[in-house]
Structure formats: C-alpha cells, structure tokens
Amino acid sequence: MTVYRSNRNIYAQLIDSETGQTVLAASNLSKGLKGSLGSEKKCASSKKVGEYIGKLAIEKGFNEVVFDRNGFHYHGRVKALADGAREAGLKF
C-alpha cells in the first residue's frame, strides 16, 4: 500500500509489486466516499479513506500489505490513514 498526500487530498493504492500494477485505489475523492465525508477535517477523512481501502482489500482477498509512506512523515493524515486501514483488518 502506497500513500500520497497533497495539501487538500490523500490517496492510497494497493500495488502488486511483482507486476507493478495498481490493484485498488482510494482517495477522499472516490465515488464511494465523497458524499459521506462532508466537511470533516483532513485527519478524519484520511481515517475514513484508510477504512475504505482496507475494506476493499479484505474483500479482494488481501490480508497483509507493506505500507509505503512515500517519504511523508508518519503522523497526522498518513498515520490516520494507516490506523483506519488497520481497524478495517489489514495487517502491515
């Protein structure tokens, strides 16, 4: 799982390391999340993105992933996304 965050949005992708192809992707702009986030703060919406991608990964049969934070510090929104994915059942 790789994470990218911009000033306004956060993105998470599950990438198959053998083929280099993206298996799943989610962000706070995803159709499944956009209406439910409303005007939440950035950390709260990041946690929901983590829960969402975690749920999708479990449904696709992925239980364990390697977390790549892409050089971003592990705090704030990146940590909230990781915590949400762990709560959904993913293991890092």
Predicted confidence band of residue 61 (pLDDT cuts 50, 70, 90): very high
The pTM is what?
A: 0.90
Look up residue 37 and give its two tokens: 């986030």
Q: What is the CATH number of the domain that holds 65?
A: 3.30.420.100
Which residue is it, tokens 């790549």?
68
How many domains are there within the chain? 1
Q: Which pLDDT belongs to residue 42?
A: 86
Domain region containing 11: 2-88
Confidence of residue 30 (pLDDT cuts 50, 70, 90): confident
Residues 6+ away with beta carbon under 8 Å from 44: 80
Q: Is the pLDDT of residue 37 over 90?
A: no
pLDDT (0 to 100) of residue 33: 82
